[in-house]
Amino acid sequence: MQIIIHRGTHQIGGCITEIQSKRGTRIAIDIGENLPTINKEKNTEIKVVGLNTGNPSFDAVFITHYHGDHIGLYNKIYPNIPIYIGEHSKQIFKILQERLEKVELTSKKDLEKVDSFFTYKIPQKIKVKDILVTPIEVDHSAFNAHMFLIECDGKKLLHTGDFRLHGQRGKSVIKALKKYVKKVDVLICEGTTLSRNNEETITENELQKRAEEIFKNNKYNFVMCSSTNIDRIAAIHKAAIKENKLFVCDKYQKDILMYIDSIARSTLYKFKGKVLSYDDNIFPLMKQRGFVMLVRDNYISKNVIQQFPNNAFIYSQWNGYLNEKFTEYKHLQEFVPKNHIYLHTSGHADFKAIKKVCSTVKPKMIIPIHSENPEAFEQMRIRRLYDKISK
C-alpha cells in the first residue's frame, strides 16, 4: 500500500490523499479546494497526475463530506473518474449548487457533474478492484460526513476526514470504530483544532441551552451560521420553539431543512410545519410574536435587521473569519455587528477526541492531516509520518 498526501499535512483544508495498491489501483480521498488564507501564495491550484492532469489513471474518488475544502475541486477532475459521496451529502450539496447556479457562481455543467456522483449507504462496502472501502458515518458540522476504512495488500488504513465527538452523533463514532474498524496499521487523522487552543469546546446541547437564555431575554433574534450546519440549526430551532419564537429563514435554507426532515429519523431534525420562509406577509407576525431568523450577509437579511434595531445578533461560525487580515471575508466582517453575541462550538475534534480515536484503533503509525500544528500529535507518543509513505 502506498500513501501519498498530495496536500494537507501542514494546512487546514484543501486536502487530497492518494491510496495506491501494489497492483496499481489508485483512489483519492477528498479533492478539497484551499481555504482563503492570509498567505496568497497558498491559494494555487494543485495538479495531480492521473486525476486532473496527464493521462487519467485514478479508479475512484471518495468524498468524506460536502464542505468546499474537501469537495471543492470536484469539477476539475477527469469526467471518467467515478466520484463517491454519502447519499444525503450529495442531495445537500446539490441544493447548494442549484442556488449558486441561479446567481451564476457555478454552471449547468457543474450541476450535471454533481448528478453523476455515485452514492453509498452505511454499512455498504465499495470494492474498487483490489481496494475495499468501508464508509463510517461520523459527527461533524456537515450532515452525513464519513470516515473511510481502506483495506488492501493485507493492510488496514483509517482516514478520519473531519470529525468530532461533542455533537449530536458523537457517542456513535467510537462505537462504530469498535464494531467495524478495530485495530489499523495506519491512521490518517485530522487535527484542525490543535492550532486553536483558545477555542471553547461545548456540546451542541450546551449551546442550545445558552441560546434558550438569549431568546428568553430578547424578542427579536438573528443568527448567522452555516446553511449546511444542520446540527447547529437544529439546536437553534429547538431553542426557538421552546421559547415560543417564530423560526424564520429564506427559501434556500428551508429547502435544505425540508430535505433533512424528509429523511431523518430523529425528532431533532423535524422542521416541517415549524419553519417559515421570510417574505413581507409575515412581517407583522414577526413583530408581534418575536422570532429567531437565520441570516446571511446579503441585502435581504440586512434590510430585515434594519427593521428590528433592538435585536440580539448571534454569530455562530469560526471567529477567525472576522479577522480583518482575511480580506476575502470583508463583506462578512462589515455585516456582523460589533456588539454581536459569539455562540459557537467547533465542528472538529479536540485533543481529547483525537486521543480517544487513537486509543480505539491503536494505529502502528499516524499521519496528521488538516492541521497547522501536526507536531501536536507527538504528545500521543505515536510515530508521525509525512507526505509520501510506502508500506
Query: What tens digit of pLDDT does each residue of 206-251 get?
Result: 999 999 999 999 999 999 999 999 999 999 999 999 999 999 999 9
Instruction: Assign domain 2-196+348-390 to a CATH class.
Output: alpha beta
CA distances from 188 to 68, 135, 149, 273 (A): 20, 14, 10, 42
Give domain limits for the chain: 2-196+348-390, 204-342
Q: Closest Cα partner for 230 from 268, 274, 199?
A: 268
The pLDDT of residue 384 is above 90: no
- Least confident segment among 103-107, 112-116, 190-194, 305-309: 103-107
Q: Which helix (H) or strand (E) holds 252?
A: helix 251-263
The pLDDT of residue 24 is above 70: yes
Characterise 48 by phi-psi region: left (phi > 0), alpha (psi -120 to 50), beta (else).
Answer: beta
What φ, ψ does residue 316 adopt, rounded to 5°? -130, 60
Instruction: Assign domain 204-342 to a CATH class.
Output: alpha beta
CB of 169 within 8 A of CB of 137? yes
Higher confidence at residue 131 or residue 281?
Answer: 131
Instruction: Name the pLDDT band for 328 (thresholds 50, 70, 90).
Output: confident
Q: What is the pLDDT of residues 133-144, one digit of tens each?
A: 999 999 999 999
Instruction: Name the pLDDT band for 325 (thresholds 50, 70, 90).
Output: confident
DSSP per residue over 51-100, as a string? TTBSS----EEE-S-S-HHHHTTGGGS-TTS-EEEEHHHHHHHHHHHHHH
- Least confident segment among 147-161, 193-207, 350-364, 371-385: 371-385
